[in-house]
Structure 1
Amino acid sequence: MKKIYINIKERSRKGLLLLLPVALLVGACGKDFLNYPSETSIPEEVTFATPERILAQVNGLYGSAKNGALFGGRYFIYNDIRSEEFANRTSNTVTGFTTWQFTNDPTDTYIANFWTIGYLTINRVNKFLTDFDSNPGVVSAELEASYRAEAKFVRALCYYALVQLFAKPYALNNGSSTGIPLRLQPETNSGNNELAPSTVAEIYAQILQDLNEAEAGLPVGYGTASLNTSRAHKNTAIALKTRIYLAMGRYADVITEANKIVSATAPFSSPNSTNVAHALQANVVNVFRTPYTTSENIFSFPMADTNAPGTQNQLGYYYNAGNIEYYLNRGAAGIFGNTTLWRSGDARRTGFTLAYNANWDILTKWSGAAPFIDWTPVLRYAEVLLNLAEAEAEVGDQTRAIALLSAVRSRSDNSYAFSGLTSRAAIVNSILVERRIEFLGEGFRVPDLQRRLSPIVSLGAGTSIPVTDDRYVFPIPAAEVLTNPGISQ
């Protein structure tokens, strides 16, 4: 056996190798082992040889995005634990204790891993699109357009997650702040490591371009509830665009997009009979229980015991009885502690929270049992309705805004009566409160504060973090700064 040793220090200097799916040989027996094809992997030159292999590449893009370090758990977790909604139990740096305290720095390994997996997935998309250029005619033009559209949806989703966590909000100065590197070409070596960050506006422009092209190329659906939930279709791209436009404060565009999949009046549902049908579930608990494929689940990342999110990434591990890394804040600052706005009989309180003991109330949206393979919800119809409600309140029909808000509240607390909704500000405030309740633990709290330029009320830091504070967003990881000289330009 002849061993091959890897210089770890040298690897750290290779820059983008941290971001690329490069296979490393670590050893083999026999001097001729390099002369034989692998029996367990497909050579790169034939990955686009058949329709089946191309579909496997598409599935691989989703598989990369649902890594536990990204959308398998960490994206949602980081955006919730930084706020006032959760208290920490374990002081475990592996599960975000320094993030909760706002003491994390550029050397944080776990946040760096989030960055790495995000860009790894983006690079895989870039490589996939380029490989299609080099392998024409293997699938029909229609299917090629669909696959390209799915890839662009995945890239848009990843870029949004990265720019939201690592750059100041678009609303601060119409996106003129320094953003993150915009990588659109596939990289297979470290030759193009150096790349200065684009502005936040440029990142958002690319996200919207990808989503507009995705909407045009995606199918109207796939024929099964499972595929309609786990693969992007036209409504999936539209739903994500409502989130992006809301983050940019482009309320009229939110209304335009949302109207494609929301009826004019209650009961609200998707009006296009050709596309996938969407509507709120009568019982919100069903959205988070098997088979995770209701009409409200627009897009989720599926999990199974063979591809679970990985240890200490899973949502159930963090919040439910599996480990309880974080429990609900009973104090006045946390939405759980406000029993006037979130009443005791609300189905979201009775169905998703539990008094675990005298000291802890926990969030039970996700199973507390290993291996924690709940599907992770990325886009729900409830979000589209509340995105639209906020946009209507800001620049449109305030009566419709109230009706949309009431639709979400009444399905969980049908006797609740909103009061004082006589101004734009009052309606918007009620919508923001509703979002805190409806999306608790789903990664919305910090993005909602950021897009409104509100301070992040941090339980862990014991203070409010204003938008001018460097801690308002994550620092660029040290590994990226070390290997990409363009970051400091």
Structure 2
Amino acid sequence: MKKLLLLFTIFISIALQSCKKYLDVPPYNQVSDGNTIFDAASAQTAVRGAYRGLASLNYSATFQNIVLQSGGDVRSINNAQTDLNVINYDLRSDIPLLLTLWSNNYNTINRANQVIAKVPLVTDINLTQSLKDQLLGEGYFIRALSYFDLARLFGNVPIFLTPTNKVSDKVGTAKSTQAQVYAQVLDDLNKAEALLPTTVVRNRATKYTVYALRARLNLYLQKYQEAENDVNSILANNSSYKLITPFALAAGTTESVLELSYNTTDVNGAFSLWNGNNRALEPKASLYNLLNDPLVGGGRKILATKTGTAIYGGISPTNISAGYVIRTAELYLIRAEARVKKVSPDLNGALDDLDAVRLRSGLVKSTAATSNEILLAIENERQVEFALEPHRWFDLVRTGRAPAVLNLSDANKYIFPIPGAEILANPALVQNNGYNH
């Protein structure tokens, strides 16, 4: 009996250890390693994990908090030291949220790199060539979007195009210039375009999603004719992307080009920024007044409501509300700006696009006439259209309007400092100009 008891105890111990090892295996939608992408199911799960990186990491509350406050129209309820650093444009490399921004984007890039490297090697007959192309194209798109945001945030950043499994894999890689990063983004988007289908899906990448992000990129690159062409590729004879009257934000509508999906397990961090007694942000009174001016905000007044002296943001009414990365209104305003700035300006076409957004919001047509007047009208329209979305800061920086609007003339402050922990971990990194700490 003692021998039987001993054998039974050993068996149970082995079984428990095996069970623990099984339970300790990280799910595919969180980690990608050498064993996670080996068949059709794991390939699709890995891509879903990369999208989850976009939703829960890249576009987390941290990203929105710092970018929205930097834009000058939103204020922090907390007034913590970090908030003061942000609004005074006095960021330090040791601020934890900067390391979070950096790490979140590179985490998602690594997930995309796993997809790009391993999906082509899968030989499962259930992974058809068309599905393989789609998953690979989505990997390229997700990597492009992540590097685009890194370049906007930090300027010159290192580029990793293969999976990294440990910290030492990154040591010795220096920063690429912002121009080189944007060139990589463009290359990834072009590759994604060749692989993705021309279907309409609001929360995953398709050819139309590629055109939209590339149109935005082309504004940054000052390739205005190319930006217009990309928008035309989406809006021309395509009823799947159109403005809705009256103004409303709702998931899955023709107003959405790319949205991020959330659920009760993976919630939208923006909800806690704007809602409840413990909210972190509120629209400034100046922005609230613009949104509630019937000649400026029109139907967009729903984005800000006031209770007593408290102002609440209406972009994420629940913690499972969709997050919007690219909306149809942005396509019209991108094309409007491109039509003014291209070599042979089309001011009438620019006004048509601007007025499409205004009329949809219950406003009258713009009275702007000259190029400068139209550009300022577009800037003002973007301010209210994307009042609670992280656009304003990037818009003012890329158009050179930060000195006039934000009283910020130090161009070194237009990008954030490289996190100090990253420089310590990788001596090949050099701190951005203007940051000594």
Category of TM-score, reference length = shorter chain? 0.7 to 0.9
Give the aligned residue type for 1:354: T
Q: In the alignment, what sits opposite 1:418?
A: 366
Contact 1:398–1:424 under 8 Å retained in 2: yes
Question: In the alignment, which residue of structure 1 is the partner of 2:39?
Answer: 50
Q: Give secondary structure in 2 for the equivalent of 1:465.
A: coil
Matched-pair contact (CA < 8 Å) for 1:123–1:186: yes
Q: CA deviation at 1:315?
A: 1.7
The question of 1:229 aligning with 2:211 is answered no
Secondary structure at 1:49 match in 2: coil
The aligned runs of 1:149-298 (5 Å cut-off) are: 149-167=137-155, 179-189=156-166, 190-221=168-199, 228-263=201-236, 271-272=237-238, 277-285=240-248, 287=249, 289=250, 292-298=251-257
| Equivalent pair of 1:85/1:336 in contact (CA under 8 Å) | no
> What amino acid maps onto 2:426 in structure 1?
N
Where 1:74 maps in the other structure, the secondary structure is helix
Compare 476-485 and 131-140 and name the one that shifted more. Answer: 131-140
When residues 467 and 153 of structure 1 are mapped into structure 2, their CA distance, relative to the original with a 3 A threshold, is farther
Structure 1 pair 132–409 and aligned structure 2 pair: CA distance change class (3 A): same
Q: Is the 8 A contact 1:299 1:377 kept in 2?
A: yes
| Counterparts of 1:297 and 1:322, CA distance in 2 | 30
Q: 1:347: Cα distance to partner?
A: 0.7
- In structure 2, the CA distance between the partners of 1:343 and 1:356, relative to structure 1 (3 Å rule), is farther
What's 1:404 paired with? 353
Corresponding residue to 2:312 among 358, 362, 379: 362
Offset of residue 457 of structure 1: 7.0
**Conserved 8 A contact 2:290-2:384:** no
Q: For residues 204 and 107 of structure 1, what CA distance do their matches in structure 2 show?
A: 26
Distance verdict in 2 for CA 1:131–1:404, change over 3 Å: same
Q: How does 1:336-351 map to 2 (within 5 A)?
A: 336-338=288-290, 343=295, 346-349=298-301, 351=302
Q: 1:451 is aligned with what amino acid?
A: R
**Cα distance, 1:49–1:388 mapped onto 2, change above 3 Å:** same
Tell me if structure 2 keeps the 8 A contact 1:317–1:325: yes
> Closer, same or farther in 2 for the Cα pair 1:145/1:322, shift >3 Å?
farther
Q: Structure 1 residues 378 and 191 mapped into 2: Cα distance closer, same or farther (>3 Å)?
A: closer
Counterpart of 1:409, as a letter, is R
8 Å CA contact retained: 1:125, 1:151: yes
Shift of 1:361: 2.7
Higher-RCO chain (CA-CA 8 Å, sequence separation at least 6): 1
Q: Distance in 2 between matches of 1:467 and 1:299?
A: 33
| C-alpha distance after superposition, 1:410-464 (max 9, x if no partner) | 11124x2422x22111111100100001001110001101111222678xxxx62
Matches of 2:67 and 2:404 in 1, distance apart? 12
Q: Give the gaps of 5 or more residues in structure 1.
A: 1-28, 168-178, 223-227, 264-270
8 Å Cα contact 2:291/2:384 also seen in 1 = no
User: 1:80, 1:445 within 8 Å by CA — same for their partners in 2?
Assistant: yes
Q: CA deviation at 1:76?
A: 3.0
Asked whether the equivalents of residues 58 and 151 of structure 1 are also in contact (C-alpha less than 8 Å), the reply is yes
Paired residue secondary structure (2:257): strand
Alignment match of 1:353 (pick from 297, 304, 322): 304
Q: Report if aligned partners of 1:302, 1:374 keep a CA contact under 8 Å in 2.
A: yes
Distance 2:428 2:395 in 1: 30
Stretches of structure 2 that go unaligned for 5 or more consecutive residues are: 1-12, 432-437
The Cα shift of 1:45 comes to 5.3
Match of 2:407 in 1: 464
Answer yes or no: is the 8 Å Cα contact 1:354–1:364 preserved in 2. yes
Shift of 1:345: 7.0
* Letter in structure 1 aligned against 2:330: E
Please give the residue correspondences for 1:119-130 in structure 2 after superposition, counting only pairs within 5 Å: 119-130=106-117
C-alpha distance after superposition, 1:8-59 (max 9, x if no partner): xxxxxxxxxxxxxxxxxxxxx8899489852453795553333112111110
The letter of the residue matching 1:101 is: N
Q: TM-score, normalised by structure 1?
A: 0.78
Higher helix residue share:
2
Do the aligned partners of 1:194 and 1:484 also contact (CA within 8 Å) in 2? Answer: yes
Which amino acid in structure 2 is aligned with residue 488 of structure 1?
V
Shift of 1:102: 2.5
Show CA shifts across 1:45-78 (max 9, x none).
55333311211111011011212x4213333332
* Cα deviation digits, residues 184-235 of structure 1 (max 9, x gap): 121112144211111111101110111111122112226xxxxx11111111
Classify 1:188/1:87 alpha carbon distance in 2 versus 1 (closer, same or farther; 3 Å): closer
Contact 2:291–2:304, Cα closer than 8 Å, also in 1: no
TM-score (ref. length: structure 2): 0.87
In the other structure, the counterpart of 1:38 is 22
SS of residue in 2 equivalent to 1:232: coil
Measure, in 2, the Cα distance between the counterparts of 1:111 and 1:121.
16
Provide Cα deviations, 1:300-343, integer angstroms capped at 9, x if missing partner.
Answer: 1101111114xxxx22322234533222222xxx4444489763
- For 1:31 and 1:100, the matched residues in 2 are separated by 56
**Partners in 1 of 2:320 and 2:191 — Cα distance?**
32
Report the Cα distance in structure 2 between the residues aligned to 1:447 and 1:407, rounded to whole angstroms. Answer: 23
1:329 aligns with 2:304: no
Other structure's SS at 2:153 match: helix
AA matched with 1:134: L
Equivalent position of 1:89 in the other structure: 77
Q: Provide the residue aligned with 1:479 in structure 2.
A: 421
- Corresponding letter in the other structure for 2:424: L
* Residue type at the aligned position of 1:121: T
Q: Which amino acid aligns with 1:259?
A: N
Report SS of the residue matched to 2:407.
Answer: strand
Q: State which drifts further: 241-250 or 127-136.
A: 127-136
